[in-house]
Amino acid sequence: MPNRIPSLGGVVPVPDPTKLTTDAVDKAKVEVDVRLSSMKELMDEKFRGVAAEFAMRDTALQAALKAAEAAVRQQNESNTVAIDKSATAFTKQIDGLDEKINDLKERMSELSSKNYGAIGAYIVGAVGIIAIVITLAATLFRHV
């Protein structure tokens, strides 16, 4: 039979189970605190990793946006150069046609006194040249 100590309400066994229980609860609290602390450290580490991934993603996104911006700027510059070249070429074509039209005008004025049939042919030719100019202009501006 275990040792018992008399008390007011009865006999308390030796060793006292209340002290053993209190010691066990204190030991369990320490264990739980240690586990919670290690879980907190683990979660903090995971959150730091996620934050680092977000930071890397943001950096990569910024780099991609800068590269896209540079590509758009370069494309715009290229388009401007192409438009300028096209306009210059079109102006040269118009100037060349102006010379031909002026030449035809001179010939028509010379022939006006000579032959009305030839004048009609020159008029048809001039109308044809004007039609070509209009067609070229419409084609060039449709592609720009």
pLDDT of residue 120: 75
Q: Residue 32 above 60 pLDDT? A: yes
> To the nearest 10°, the Cα dihedral for 47, 50, 52, 56?
-170
DSSP 7-69: -SSSEEESS-HHHHHHHHHHHHHHHHHHHHHHHHHHHHHHHHHHHHHHHHHHHHHHHHHHHHH
Given a contact cutoff of 8 angstroms between Cβ atoms, the answer to whether 22 and 32 are in contact is no
Given a contact cutoff of 8 angstroms between Cβ atoms, the answer to whether 140 and 90 are in contact is yes
Burial of 140 (C-beta count, 10 Å sphere; 0-12/13-18/19+): middle
- pLDDT per position as a tens digit, 59-105: 999 999 999 999 999 999 999 999 999 889 888 888 888 888 888 88
Top-confidence residue, 108 or 49: 49
Give percent of the chain above pLDDT 90.
Answer: 34
